Every structure is written in C-alpha cells, then in structure tokens.
Structure 1
Amino acid sequence: MNDHQQRQTVSSGSYLEPEIGFSRAVRMGPYVAVAGTAPIGEDGATAGVGDVHAQTVRCLDIAEAALKEAGASLADVVRTRIMLTDVTRWREAARAHGERFAAIRPVTTFVEVSRFIDPEWLVEIEVDAVLG
C-alpha cells in the first residue's frame, strides 16, 4: 500500500461492528488504528468473565489479529490505551500487556471508565501502530 490516501478496513466479525458502523481496524498509509477491543470470545460470549488478565489477553489477541490483517505487527505498535472498570486492578491488565510488549515498549495509558456496553467486560484496549 504505497498510496497514502488508500484506506483499508479490517473486520473482526464482532456482532457490534455493523450495528455501530465501525471497523476493528483502519489502515491509512503507514498508520493503523485498532478500535476499542473488548474481550469477546470466538463464540460471541465474554471471555474470561471476572478475570482482568484473561480478558486483557483476549483483547490483545483480537487486536494483534487485526494488526496482522492490516499488514502490521505488535512490533509496529506505538500506543496502547487500556480502559478498566476498576483501575485498582491495573496490575492484572499490566501483566498481560507486559507479556506482549516488554521488548516493544509503546506508550500506554490506563484509565478507569464507569462501564462498557456489556457489564461483564472489565477491560477494553485501543492500539495505534505506525509501519516504518
């Protein structure tokens, strides 16, 4: 993809994508943005109910697959945003993040939100990548 005006969209198959009108990821030139990614299992149910670490792993799996489909990898990630319904549990999310990004070390932000669309979701993650 050499044309910086070319737009590539990636779908993860989430049941919410058509309803909301969003893509899991969008690539424009060297920039890839991955939408807020929730811990939805392949069966459509919440993965890791009650387990922040397991939910974070699932979010990162979905985000990584979207990056790959857009021609990027975790090594291209420059920013992550981790949103939690209980920021006191940030270390559980941080452990999963560190398992993937210890050597890459993108900038990251942890924020607390009041809730997500599904009350079983404890975490959502956004990812931005730049291909060099």
Structure 2
Amino acid sequence: MPSAITLIRSTSLSDVAQYAYAATAPSGSRLIFLAGACPLNEDGSTAAIGDYAGQAAKAIENMQAALTASGASLQDVISTRVLVASARQEDLAAAWKIVRDSFGEHDVPSTLMGVTVLGYADQLVEIEAIAAVLDS
C-alpha cells in the first residue's frame, strides 16, 4: 500500500530536532486517530514499573497493535504526542529515545511533554498518534 504521508522539513528552522516539523496527508486519505497508547500488559497491569524506556517500548508495542487493527503501521503515522510523567529532562529523553528509534527514518512531527500524572497506577509514559492511509 502506498504511503499517504509526506514529511516536511524547513531549512529555515533548526536541524537539531530529531523529527520533521510538519507532515501532510493527501485528499482522500483515511485519517486514524489513536487513543493514547499506554504501557499496559494484556491483563491490564502496568508494564515496566519505574522504567521510562521500558514503558515507552510497551506503549509503542501497544500502539503498533492498534495501528495494525486499523490497517496501518508506524510508517503511516503523521504525528505523535509523547507524554512523560516527570519534570526531569533526562526522563523525557529516555522515553523519547525509544520512540524515536522505533520510528527509524520515518521521523514524524512530534511533541514531547512532561506532565504531572497519567491515568493508570505507576504509568510514566503515554503516546498519542494520528495516522493516514490510502485504502486500495
């Protein structure tokens, strides 16, 4: 299936960011709005308690399952918002490294935010995403 995503980079903006600054989906593409992917195991328990990187990895795994159920993949994601329950930049960086590495060359526009608390007991990371696909 051809990709519906076009990542946009601007030479007038800093290249220090590890992601594209914008993305587009063509007219006629199907947008998929994912709920925040949480680091939950199948039994509803929180995975990797106390581990920002471990929770980011589990959230990505769960996001991939939701994308697959929607007929999409990580390569179809058009933007993300990564929420990390911490005020420490190193905790945000630990979660971000996992997210960034998971997307590889598909460096979607992203926002990384430190937040006070997330919805589940012991939850440290949540990842929201929007994807776009061209149905054949």
Question: Same fold by TM (over 0.5)?
Answer: yes
Which structure carries more helix by proportion?
1
Distance in structure 1 (CA, Å) of the matches to 2:119 and 2:34 = 18
Provide the aligned C-alpha RMSD in A. Answer: 1.3
TM-score, normalised via structure 2 length:
0.72
Q: Secondary structure at the match of 1:63?
A: helix
Is 1:110 matched with 2:119? no
Q: Which residue of 2 aligns with 1:63?
A: 63
Could you list the structure 1 runs, at least 4 aligned residues long, displaced by more than 6 angstroms after superposition. Answer: none
What's the offset of the Cα at 1:69?
Answer: 0.8
Q: Which has the larger radius of gyration?
A: 2
What's the offset of the Cα at 1:43?
Answer: 2.2
What's the offset of the Cα at 1:94?
Answer: 1.4
Distance in structure 1 (CA, Å) of the matches to 2:117 and 2:107 = 27
Distance in structure 1 (CA, Å) of the matches to 2:133 and 2:119 = 31
**Deviation string, structure 1 residues 2-52 (Cα, Å, up to 9, x no partner):** xxxxxxxxxxxxxxxxxxxxxxxxxxx610111112111122110000000
Q: Which residue of 1 aligns with 2:133?
A: 131
Q: Which residue of 2 aligns with 1:121?
A: 123
Letter in structure 2 aligned against 1:51: D
How many residues align structurally?
104
Q: Which residue of 1 aligns with 2:12?
A: none
Letter in structure 1 aligned against 2:82: I
Q: What is the identity percentage for the equivalent residue pairs of Structure 1 and Structure 2?
A: 31
Give unpaired runs (5+ residues) of structure 1: 1-28
Distance in structure 2 (CA, Å) of the matches to 1:107 and 1:118 = 26
**Deviation string, structure 1 residues 77-120 (Cα, Å, up to 9, x no partner):** 11010001114211111111122112101000011211012240
Distance in structure 2 (CA, Å) of the matches to 1:43 and 1:119 = 14
